[in-house]
Structure 1
Amino acid sequence: MKSTLSPDRTELKERWAEYKLANPKTRIRDAAKALGTSEAELLATGLGESVQLLDGDFRELMKEMGALGHVMALTRNDHVVHERKGVYQNISFNNHVGLVLGEDIDLRLFLGDWKFGFAVSENDRFSLQFFNSFGDAAHKIYLTEKSNKEAYHALVAKYLAADQDVNLFVNEKKEKEAEPEEAAGLAKSAFQAEWLALKDTHDFFTLLRKHKLTRKQALRNAPEGYAHRIKPESMKVLFDALSQSELPIMVFVSNPNCIQIHTGPIKKIFVMGPWLNVMDPEFNLHLREDAIDEAWVVRKPTEDGIVTGIELIDKDGVMFNQFFGKRKPGIPELAEWPALIEQHSIQF
């Protein structure tokens, strides 16, 4: 049964239809910004047609995701899109924090603000899409030619909301405040000593909270030799070097609701407009180079030795992309990784 759209949704649907005619290649996230709405609200204009609203505990739905077989997991933020194909395996939850620890699909899920879920069918492409209370995409799952469509339709039927004729109400975002360059009142020597005493990379977040530091402030006050800036254009040079070396790396992309990780080599690299792209069979990355305000090489001590990462930060101070050499707890990082960074990054 088709939904009867409210006047507001009817008007938004008409505006989006006009926008798509004028801008046929624009992604829905960018269209939402241009139209002064959220992606979730824009998608909801298709309720009763190509979109179905989901309901229930999304933790339970996610636990069943393995039944779909081979799919494509997509996590993005404003500046980078991470797409990884594979199977959802080893899915577990501790309250609203979830783990997916498959060989290919590797996720950290923070479901405390997964507000809306939709099943979407467009041009014979099926997906499950989840959004937070601000209407921003948290995580999306697309069927591939290898997926189990019967399992998908069974899941949609199981979690289908009884009322499909609803208006979405999203929270309004606060304006981002410009962060101060300097860290007022920082006990710098104590901070640096605690940095040097780190045992695990995850403890770095605790260190920042303890000293009330933003990411940029922390990196600017790092111990000597533990953080330095490289030019943003280094990323294309590094990607090309990685492609040639076939060195396996870890690529982290995060938003407030999900972290998605690719582990392995990257091979096919090309630039299209502002986008630096990885286009491999099982992994795609789309990175807006012009969004990189600062790029840092960061070294953190662990019980397994130094771990070297590249951190990309936007003009608002948000770290939106991280890169590491392939490693696991108990195994030191690959020596080739910091060597490649040193050889191919462009220094200030």
Structure 2
Amino acid sequence: MTTDTISLKTRWSDFRQQQPNVRIRDAARQLGVSEAELLVTGVGETVVRLAGDFRELLREVPTLGYVMALTRNDVLVHERKGVYEKVSLSNHMGLVLGPDIDLRLFMQRWQWGFAVNENDRRSLQFFDAQGEAIHKIYLTEQSEGVAYQTLVTKFRADDQSEQLTVDAPVGKSDDTADAAIDVAGFQAGWLAMQDTHEFFGLLRQYGVGRQQGLRLAPEGHARLLSLDVLKQVFATAADRDVSIMVFVSNAGCIQIHTGPVKKLVQMGPWYNVLDPAFNLHLNETLVGQVWLTKKPTADGLVTALELFDRNGQNVALVFGERKPGKPELESWRAVIADAVR
């Protein structure tokens, strides 16, 4: 699907004049295109197309110094400031394992890259084949501007056209009917887990969707909650200074915050964490379900909140801070227990 860029450029310009405060992702939805298709209309002005191996580009991101990493989906925006450290990449997977910037990268989804200058706010932005945003890296006042320009020059594409051919959106596959699933086997597998990372393989083994799996969980190991309980968990964790982990994901990236949350602010339909190094923006109108889950590990039960959008897609996970080899924080369990009474 190739965009009529000239027509779209005019429509995008008119839209910004009429609705200057609408973010580009929301504008793209209203205009019936992807965010990448809107962005590419700025090539030659505010946008530079990037090319080459994005794994090599990511290996050089630490030279930018202190930046802001942004990963989002339709429901949540996760923004974390820090330095990219311990960057490692294979053919399809990537890791960034710094104390501040903590990422899991699924490189087969990284199709397009752009350097963007929005009113002197410079960034690197990456998109999948459907034109959906995967990950963005914004310079801060403490970033290395010369290193940014060096990186953009090195990975600048020869093709600086405004044409972009995107794939059609991928439809969600339907879950297998409950009656066709070995529920007893699935539940036994759940109770036998030694690591939370085994859960994805368990779902695949039994052909179970993630949200469906929570519904079919062993008794006492998954519970449907209200969004208000999630907000109470954040508020209690903030009051008690309990360190938490917040995972926000899309098809190409998982971004993780580990640490306390402090400043919680409601702004219309958006529930926000507005701390100096960590911002989270949750659009309450797009949340489908919130689940409390308990999964066995070699270190004992691990308790989490799992958020799903209205299409049943898992969009976020919230844990107490933990590391393999150590049991879950009792302070986190107390936060959960007090919130779900």
* TM-score (normalizing by structure 2): 0.97
Please say if 1:96 is aligned against 2:92.
Answer: yes
Query: Which of 293, 296, 299 is residue 291 of structure 2 equivalent to?
Result: 296
- 8 A contact 2:76–2:281 mirrored in 1: yes
Residues 1:204 and 1:255: Cα distance change in structure 2 (over 3 Å) = same
Counterpart Cα distance in 2 of 1:179 and 1:191: 15
Superposed CA deviations along residues 203-224 of structure 1, whole A, max 9, x for unmatched, are: 0000001111111211111111
Contact 1:178–1:316 (Cα < 8 Å) also in 2: no
In structure 2, how many angstroms separate the alpha carbons of the residues matched to 1:175 and 1:155? 35
* Matched-pair contact (CA < 8 Å) for 1:227–1:298: yes
- Residue equivalent to 1:250: 245
Match of 2:317 in 1: 322
Q: Distance in 2 between matches of 1:340 and 1:144?
A: 34
1: distance between equivalents of 2:145 and 2:64?
A: 7
The one-character-per-residue Cα deviations of 1:306-347 (angstroms, maximum 9, x if unpaired) are 1100001122111101100000111111011122112123x6
> In structure 2, what is the Cα distance between the partners aligned to 1:189 and 1:64?
48
Structure 2, unmatched stretches of 5+, are none
Indicate the percent of aligned positions where both proteins have the same amino acid: 54
Partner letter of residue 94 of structure 2? G
Deviation at 1:294, TM superposition (A): 1.3
Question: Are 2:5 and 1:9 equivalent residues in the alignment?
Answer: yes
For 1:208 and 1:163, the matched residues in 2 are separated by 42
Structure 1 counterpart of 2:55: 59
Aligned 8 A contact 1:233 1:289 in 2: no
Q: Classify the secondary structure of the residue corresponding to 2:70.
A: strand
CA distance in 2, matches of 1:190, 1:110: 30
Structure 1 spans left out of the alignment, 5+ residues: 1-5
Alpha-carbon offset, residue 246 of structure 1: 1.1
Alpha-carbon distance, 1:131 to partner: 0.4
CA distance in structure 2 between the aligned counterparts of 1:65 and 1:220, rounded to whole angstroms: 41
Pairing of 1:270-285 with structure 2 (within 5 A): 270-285=265-280
Corresponding residue of 2:111: 115
Q: Does 1:140 align with 2:159?
A: no
SS of the aligned residue for 1:189 comes to helix
Give SS of 1:242's match: helix
Aligned to 2:154: 158
Q: Equivalents in 2 of 1:292, 1:338: separation in Å?
A: 24
Describe the SS at the equivalent of 1:64: helix
Q: Indicate the residue corresponding to 2:202 in structure 1.
A: 207
Question: Could you tell me the TM-score, scaled by structure 1's length?
Answer: 0.95
Q: State the shift of 1:174 in Å.
A: 4.0
CA distance in 1, matches of 2:4, 2:215: 47
- Structure-2 separation of matches of 1:223 and 1:175: 30
Determine the structure 2 residue equivalent to 1:20. Answer: 16
Alignment of 1:64-75 (within 5 A): 64-75=60-71
Matches within 5 A, 1:164-203: 164-176=160-172, 179=175, 182-203=177-198
The answer for the alignment partner of 2:127 in structure 1 is 131
Structure 2 distance, partners of 1:177, 1:195, is: 23
Task: Give the distance between the partners of 1:174 and 1:131, measured in 2 at CA.
Answer: 14
Distance 1:300 1:260 in 2: 21
RMSD of aligned residue pairs (Cα, Å): 1.4
Q: Give the total of aligned pairs.
A: 340
* Aligned twin of 1:343: 338
* CA distance in structure 2 between the aligned counterparts of 1:125 and 1:203, rounded to whole angstroms: 41
Query: 2:50 touches 2:155 (CA, 8 Å); kept in 1?
Result: yes
The residue aligned with 1:3 is none
